[in-house]
Amino acid sequence: MTSDLTRLTLKAARDGLARKDFSAGELTRAHLAAMEKARGLNAFITETPEKAVAMAEAADRRLGTGEGGLLEGLPVAIKDLFCTQGIATTAASHILDGFVPPYESTVTARLWAQGAVCLGKTNLDEFAMGSSNITSHHGPVGNPWTRTGDSSQLVPGGSSGGSAAAVAGRMALAATGTDTGGSIRQPASFCGIAGIKPTYGRCSRWGTVAFASSLDQAGAFARTVEDCALFLQAMAGHDPKDSTSADLAVPDWSGRLSGRVKGLRIGLPKEYRVEGMPSEIERLWQQGADWLKAEGAEVVEISLPHTKYALPTYYIIAPAEASSNLARYDGMRFGLRVEGKNLAETYMKTRGLGFGDEVRRRILIGTYVLSAGYYDAYYLKAQKVRRRIAEDFTSAFKEVDAILTPTAPSAAFRIGEKMDDPVAMYLNDVFTVPSSLAGLPGMSVPAGLSADGLPLGLQVIGRAWDEQTVLDVSRAIEDAAGFATLPYGLEA
Amino acid sequence: MSLDKATVARIATLARIEVPEDQLEPLARELSGILGWIEQLGEVDTSAVEPMRSVMDIRQDWRPDTVDAGDCQADILKNAPKAHDGFFVVPKVVE
């Protein structure tokens, strides 16, 4: 029974609770047991078992009286970038040592208001900067998947690696993530689960530790497209505390989910056929297009001519915004303080010791591109190219209703690989960064396995505010792919 | 654009991050590599392009300029590395 409960989808668990097949307490305890068993993966930075049990008991009382929200009694995990009142929030950084927020982020407050149960805070790349979860101060996360016949531990992707591993490893029914350049979609692809980044402005950023404010957007991980729709519905919505959150009603995405693609036009951007892309990924991409065609969609080639400039643009804009956002970590009001002879030296030592290598690298790049004499050449130039990239999508969406691409140029790699060259690591996000720069919704859905037995995802990109089409196209791929393989050690 | 050690040291000071002397040279190499890769943006003609500062065409909300939060001194000080008598304690600024 215990292991069965962790195999349910979010939707099936919700239905089971409604039918009183099991209690929220039982469901939560099954997941806490799974977390304990999989502790070696290091998916969580902070586990909150007592809180989870108390929240589940409260949910059972509400369910007993017929009350209860959209996610009543459903155990979920929270990326440790969302501030949670009374629970340590680290952003996986040394510099936030000891920080316990006295307030709750809007996204998590919405989840608790809908009855969700908090299992704990998941591991991530430090300040969400990375594509492998290797830059965490709290150690790397292991992917629940390993290659066929090779037990070497692989990365779960990043930055939301802990959330993706927790959902793939059947430790949580769903988890929050954040996506700045691919940090939900790439780990979803590496871990064989679904993950959606909604349109910029759908979810409030209030109370989420900031990385690059013009790009950061919260989103959802779950094992099915329908579960992602349900979970995202609870997270999203207008918040007066975030001036970039959109004052738009949140549609009933899960209720309207049809998976129907008949008559839709799907674009395949020719610039995404990048040099050196493994042929199995190219084949899977074509397979995805064929599946959609078989369901009545029309597939056409499109052009997004500025695609190759997206990554370099991103690596100006994101570090520039990060260098400004991370200026707040000065050791004075919260977190780590390393005493120096005077104030200036205290700043230098606190930030020198508190930030890891990748965060330091990005702050330095950001400081440089914003510094006097270089601002126009780098930062202003990047903002102009960003408009070109966004215009590519605007033109494309005059011709098509959604865009289909691979999520990442490879499957999960070994911990330690791609570590020598920062640019090689950045290339992980080559397919996800362009739509991030344009603020568009994107989803990764598991579509197949690599030759060595690892999950590969396909990405669906939609028009701004049209998460529904993204979800429907993703659902059609999910149905056609019938992806049912479980990570090693979790087979039925 | 290739960065030398002295430039990296200057940026690190601007960013208020202490970088050990022996890490300046490797950092200069890494940052030069990244900046060299970024330089390809020069190929894009952006002469008539407005910089994109906000990705979504959303009207920013206005609100009355009134206090709607506060009275939370204890909460604010709870995470302070050092606090005394309702204040943050910081290193001496004026000698």
Structure confidence by residue, pLDDT tens digits, A317-337: 999 999 999 999 999 999 999
Cβ separation of A200 and B11 shorter than 8 Å? Answer: no
- As separate numbers, helices (DSSP H) first and strands (DSSP E) second, chain A gives 17, 11
Query: Would the pLDDT of B81 be above 70?
Result: yes
Q: Residue A55: phi, psi to the nearest 5?
A: -65, -35
Six-digit token pair at A283?
Answer: 């084949």
Cis peptide before A3 (omega within 30 of 0): no
Q: What was the pLDDT predicted at A321?
A: 97
C-alpha to C-alpha distances, A261 to A194, A272, A446, nearest whole angstrom:
18, 22, 18
Find where tokens 């993530």 sit: A177
A79 has catalytic annotation: yes
State the pLDDT confidence band at A3, using cuts at 50, 70 and 90.
low
The alpha-helical segments, DSSP class H, found in A239-380 are 253-256, 279-294, 310-325, 343-354, 357-370
Chain B environment of A312 (Cβ under 8 Å): 37-41
Q: Residue with structure tokens 């579509």? A: A447
Give how far B43 is from chain A: nearest CA, Å: 9
Cβ neighbours for A457, distance < 8 A, ≥ 6 positions apart:
A185, A188, A189, A190, A192, A406, A407, A408, A444, A445, A446, A447
CA distance A385 to B38: 12
Sort out which chain B residues have CB atoms less than 8 A from A342's CB and list them: 91-93, 95
Distance in angstroms (rounded) separating the CA atoms of residues A477 and A479 = 5
Cβ atoms of A192 and A161 within 8 Å: the answer is: no
When the pLDDT of each residue in chain A is averaged and rounded to a whole number, the result is 96
Helix (H) or strand (E) holding A176: strand A174-179
Sign of CA dihedral B34, A305, A284, A159: positive
**Is there a contact between A314 and A431 (Cβ–Cβ < 8 Å)?**
no
- Identify the residue whose tokens are 């997941």: A31
Specify the pLDDT at position A148: 92
What's the pLDDT score for residue B1? 64
Q: State pLDDT tens for residues A429-480.
A: 999 999 999 999 999 999 999 999 999 999 999 999 999 999 999 999 999 9
CA distance A172 to A124: 16
Element (H, E) at B75: helix B73-77
Interface test with B, best of A364, A379, A389, A437 (most B CBs within 10 A): A364
pLDDT at A165 over 80: yes
Of A29-38, A471-480, B18-27, B62-71, minimum mean pLDDT range? B62-71
Tell me: the pLDDT tens digits for A140-162? 999 999 999 999 999 999 999 99
CA atoms of A312 and A310, how far apart (whole Å): 6
For residue A282, pLDDT beyond 90: yes
Given A79, A121, A197, A418, the catalytic residue: A79
Chain A CA closest to residue B7: A368
Distance CA B82, CA A139 (A): 28
What is the share, in percent, of chain B residues with pLDDT greater than 90?
76
Is the confidence at residue A1, as pLDDT, over 80?
Answer: no
Q: Is B84 on the interface with A (CB under 8 A)?
A: no
pLDDT of residue A492: 59
| Pairing relationship of beta strands A174-179 and A75-79 according to DSSP bridges | parallel
Whether residue A455 contacts residue A158, with contact meaning beta carbons closer than 8 Å, is answered with no
**Predicted local confidence at residue B92, as pLDDT:** 84
A183 is catalytic: yes
What is chain B's mean pLDDT, rounded?
A: 91
| Res A343 pLDDT > 50 | yes
Q: Which residue in chain A has the smallest CA separation from B53? A: A383
Task: Check CB contact under 8 Å for B88 and A343.
Answer: no
Report the helix count and the strand count for chain B, using DSSP H and E: 3, 2
**Residues A352-369, mean pLDDT to the nearest whole number:** 97
Catalytic residue of the set A93, A136, A159, A160: A159
Taking the C-alpha atoms of residue A105 and residue A84, their distance in angstroms, rounded to an integer, is 6
pLDDT category, A402, cuts 50, 70, 90?
very high
Candidates A127, A384, A420, partner chain B, best to mutate (most B CBs within 10 A): A384
CA A178 to chain centre: 5
Average pLDDT in the B48-64 region?
A: 83
CB pairs under 8 A between A and B: 167
Quick one: average pLDDT of A9-34? Answer: 97
**Can you tell me the mean pLDDT for A72-93?**
98
Q: What is the DSSP letter of A96?
A: G
Average pLDDT, integer, range A390-400: 98
CB contact under 8 A, B91 and A342: yes
The pLDDT of residue A412: 95
- Residue A427 confidence (pLDDT): 86
Sequence-distant (≥ 6) Cβ neighbours of residue A319 within 8 angstroms: A212, A362, A363, A365, A366, A369
B53 CA: distance to closest CA in chain A (Å):
7
Sheet with A298-302: list strands edge to edge.
A44-47, A117-122, A75-79, A174-179, A217-222, A194-197, A442-449, A455-462, A402-406, A265-269, A298-302
Nearest one of A212, A218, A211, A220 to A239, comparing CA atoms: A218
**DSSP E strand boundaries for chain B:** 83-84, 87-88
Q: pTM above the 0.95 mark?
A: yes
In chain B, the residue whose alpha carbon lies closest to the alpha carbon of A360 is: B17
Taking 50 as the threshold, does the pLDDT of residue A250 lie above it?
Answer: yes
Say if CB A8 and CB A228 are below 8 A apart.
Answer: no
Instruction: Give yes or no for a contact between A120 and A161, defined as CB atoms under 8 angstroms apart.
Output: no
Q: What's the rounded Cα separation, in Å, for the pair A270 and A289?
A: 13
Contact between A382 and B80 using a beta-carbon 8 Å cutoff: no
Q: What is the ipTM of this complex?
A: 0.95
A244 to chain B: closest CA residue = B60
Whether A78 and A175 have beta carbons less than 8 Å apart is answered as yes
Phi, psi of A461 (to 5 degrees): -115, 140
